[in-house]
Structure 1
């Protein structure tokens, strides 16, 4: 789809732009002090006191700037700017929660960038006198990371209709606290009706090395990888570590260790880099130093650009796990969990991002995303645009995660341009007047 050149909307002066960039960086680095760790990371898991602090900061910032802040039943926060009464909203944003000992850029950058982009769009509209087609809202999605409450990408998936609200409110953390209880505890059990979305845009750190290696300023996502998780419950028998003969043991942890190795090694059955796999969480019971473990619960994660590869890996792992269970005379239950289809982002949105980047005099390339994002969930409901800025060394979900100030500022400017086009009506035709059910105009109209 060819887009006409954007009109000149009285671009802000160089001094004004630099002042706005400096304000963005000051706020970003301030938020990074909330839940800060000793090694320059953050620990702000969903609905912890640290998460509340960032939420309170966002509410205060947005209210002071004239946004109307709403909180829905799953805890998503929306900072709304109404330009056209009763019109739907362009949503832009990401998430403020983090992984345990996570990085300060993942998620938070996208929310703070969106706040400044929305404010700039508001100012540009006021200066130009142009009437937009849609309203604009910045969103902080609840529990994108899934470190405390599984599954991840929870708030945006509820909003997009992929997860049931009541089921998600009943999810518990390892201590037995439900999402509903935790939302109430920090004062974010919302009752507001969320704004109706017409489109969505998100900017995020890449969490990979492609942009850095190729010295490219911006990445735009064409598609997301297929993701399949396996909920694995290894059930042995509890016994005394000193008094039980080795031949009489049914050690759940030993069997679970072999399962972990099988998950790691299944990638060798496929072409290099075609599949990634991991086991990131284990719960061992009773977790006593003098007791042979009776149970280990874990979640395995399989991802590939090709869904058939994930299905083949799943089949191989289930066969290997069944053999491990027989060899150790224990029970291992395996259930499919959190399956996410491969999704293509609308070509029209990709081209919109490319036009915005070109107008800024920057370089851009198309990418797939291996990681899950709120944009992937939202792309089921409305046309979505997902953009990346470079990550130093490609590391993420750790304290060493880093993106330069210069790259963050470039991303804010590009997001501002994209958001401005979206509120003026870009991508509206992709929806074809109906709920977004495809990944391109052709699919949506089929």
Structure 2
């Protein structure tokens, strides 16, 4: 293994010590102290090597190599925040790989004296995960105009803390101007089993799935668990529990794996051991490669919720939330990656992403590339998430080749 690859692995595995959990994962939710700690490490790594770091007004961080003042940047990166009790690869791999791509290409530019067509920067996007503050993919969506910045800064977590307050609290509510971007590239673990099963080291993402969430409120009546007869109860939690099952079972109406759905979050009020719950708030997540399938599942669920509400004498209120249409990555970017990797003798395959990524948001504004490396057992968003060092380094080499081509103007007309 080369010295540069070993340096990359050292830095990457160091990130897993920041917010480390007992079982080998990390917990660095956006805007928390641990998020602030890894952000400080990112900033210090850049400034110590001569790369100034800007922080914009939604907390995105940009580590920049500006070879030609005034020329737009090729951005490469991902995110450093995590889910609670998360894996150490999701997001952090893409950021640390980008940092080492920057160092490698900058060294080549300094040695040759020849400036590429575009400058190069590394980005750490704010709150890609959406765990503490919903929705996800927040910083990159504000960056490209898919979300309103002031509205986003006012989003609150479950304790009432706003995004702006959290960023200010950890010292990363910035005021720096955002760099002008020509193209974007990101590398990520697959979070699925396709590459591992097929023995292919690199995936090139051609499009994302249609996704939407349902914001569900179940309203019953608060009463005493030990004194209220069963017939007199209007238990919001019993009804909500059946909604959880309905959201799971609606996938059976369609061909296997064409619809993914689950309830991942639930809040119960008043959450007392001797009180029948009066209110439950849930968020259901529906995803498919087909918008029609998601809409059909949604319609089925709403019909069942109406029947449930009548049967249990509760009120069920549903609002659509965080609806994301399918996004297609540019054919020119896919072909570029395939050519570059063929020249290196590296097998690739086109792949669709079921999960959201910052690259999906960026693709709405600039030519963008999203690469995947294999995930062991396809497991993600948990502490046993894992990718082999060899696959991480293969991905780093691929991202370096792509970034070289992009700073030379490969995807520009």
Fold conserved between structures, TM > 0.5: yes
Moved more, 280-289 or 353-362: 353-362
1:385 aligns with 369
* Residues 62-81 of structure 1 mapped to structure 2, 5 A cutoff: 62-81=46-65
1:251 aligns with 235
> For the residues of structure 2 that align with 1:403 and 1:291, how far apart are their CA atoms?
46
Say which of 9, 12, 26 aligns to 1:42: 26
Whether 1:122 aligns to 2:106 is yes
Quote the offset at 1:330 in angstroms. Answer: 1.0
> For the residues of structure 2 that align with 1:296 and 1:353, how far apart are their CA atoms?
47
Whether 1:242 aligns to 2:242 is no
> For the residues of structure 2 that align with 1:223 and 1:386, how far apart are their CA atoms?
9
1:285 aligns with 269
1:326 aligns with 310
Say which of 133, 138, 146 aligns to 1:162: 146
2:10 aligns with 26
> For the residues of structure 1 that align with 2:94 and 2:16, how far apart are their CA atoms?
13
Whether 1:271 aligns to 2:255 is yes
2:84 aligns with 100
1:135 aligns with 119
> For the residues of structure 1 that align with 2:133 and 2:253, how far apart are their CA atoms?
32
Say which of 95, 109, 118 aligns to 1:111: 95
| 3-state DSSP of counterpart to 1:343 | coil
- The runs of at least 4 consecutive aligned structure 1 residues that moved more than 4 Å come to none
Supply the RMSD in Å over aligned alpha carbons: 0.9
Quote the offset at 1:129 in angstroms. Answer: 3.4
> For the residues of structure 1 that align with 2:97 and 2:378, how far apart are their CA atoms?
20
Q: How many positions carry a matched residue from both structures?
A: 413
> For the residues of structure 2 that align with 1:198 and 1:422, how far apart are their CA atoms?
9
1:438 aligns with none
Identify unmatched segments of 5+ residues in structure 2.
none
> For the residues of structure 1 that align with 2:60 and 2:339, how far apart are their CA atoms?
30
Say which of 307, 317, 337 aligns to 1:353: 337
Once the two structures are superposed, residues 270-328 of structure 1 have per-residue CA deviations (whole angstroms, 9 ceiling, x without a partner) of 11111000100001111000000011101100000011111111111111111111111
Quote the offset at 1:418 in angstroms. Answer: 0.5
> For the residues of structure 2 that align with 1:353 and 1:262, how far apart are their CA atoms?
42
2:380 aligns with 396
| 3-state DSSP of counterpart to 1:231 | strand
**TM-score, length basis structure 1:** 0.91
**TM-score, length basis structure 2:** 0.99
Moved more, 119-128 or 235-244: 119-128
Quote the offset at 1:122 in angstroms. Answer: 1.1
